[in-house]
């Protein structure tokens, strides 16, 4: 079984479709230095993956992940990392309800063209560390506060949140 899946340095790949059944035992997915334009993952995918790293995708414009993906259970866990870095054309990130719900760490770094982030309800429900850095183009955070993410971070965890250009925050469904 594949425990770690790494894609790196494949400049001619523009589309990537991964079916979670092929990676049932995979714990880490690392996607580096590809020419993808869009990364799209459906609902209920990669529930055993504990680390998703997307780094250096120079042509990537959007990331869309459906509901309840990258979530082992609805309970708190001691691990889980989503890291998206150095994707210089990335403009939007959309995560469906419940995805990454039991992950502990979120890192969005050096995404200067990122304009919009939408996290569904209960994304990062148990997060204790959030890094949002070098997001100078960020204008919109939608449904970002719908989970317990910020309650956990402000009460128990660490947060780095330098958003200079932010023009719109949505507090819909804040609990």
pLDDT in tens, 51-85: 999 999 999 999 999 999 999 887 888 899 999 99
pLDDT in tens, 104-146: 999 999 999 999 998 888 888 888 888 888 888 888 877 655 4
Give 30's strand partners: 6, 53
Residue 175 has pLDDT above 50, yes or no: no
Give 82's strand partners: 52, 106
pLDDT at 172: 40
Residue 26 has pLDDT above 70, yes or no: yes
pLDDT at 139: 82
Residue 2 has pLDDT above 50, yes or no: yes
- Helix (H/G/I), strand (E/B), else coil: 30: strand
Residue 149 has pLDDT above 90, yes or no: no
Helix, strand, coil share of the chain (percent; to 5): 5, 35, 60
Strand 28-34 vs strand 51-55: parallel, antiparallel, or unpaired?
parallel
Entry pTM: 0.83
- Of 70, 33, 72, nearest to 54 (Cα)? 33
Q: Return the DSSP state at 150.
A: H
């Amino acid at each position: 079984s594949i425990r770690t899946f790494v894609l790196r340095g494949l400049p001619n790949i523009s589309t990537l479709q991964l079916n979670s059944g092929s990676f049932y035992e995979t714990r880490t997915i690392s996607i580096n230095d590809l020419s993808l334009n869009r990364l799209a993952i459906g609902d209920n995918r990669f529930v055993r993956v504990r680390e998703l790293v997307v780094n250096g995708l120079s042509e990537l414009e959007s990331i869309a992940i459906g509901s309840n993906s990258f979530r082992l259970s609805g309970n708190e866990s001691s691990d889980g990392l989503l890291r998206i870095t150095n994707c210089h054309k990335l403009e939007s990130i959309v995560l469906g309800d419940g995805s990454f719900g039991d992950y502990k760490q979120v890192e969005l770094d050096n995404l200067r063209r990122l304009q919009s982030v939408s996290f569904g309800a209960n994304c990062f429900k148990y997060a204790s560390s959030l890094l949002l850095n070098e997001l100078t183009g960020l204008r919109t955070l939608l449904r970002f506060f719908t989970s317990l993410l910020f309650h956990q971070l402000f009460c128990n965890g660490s947060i780095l949140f330098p958003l200079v250009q932010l023009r719109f925050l949505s507090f819909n469904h804040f609990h």
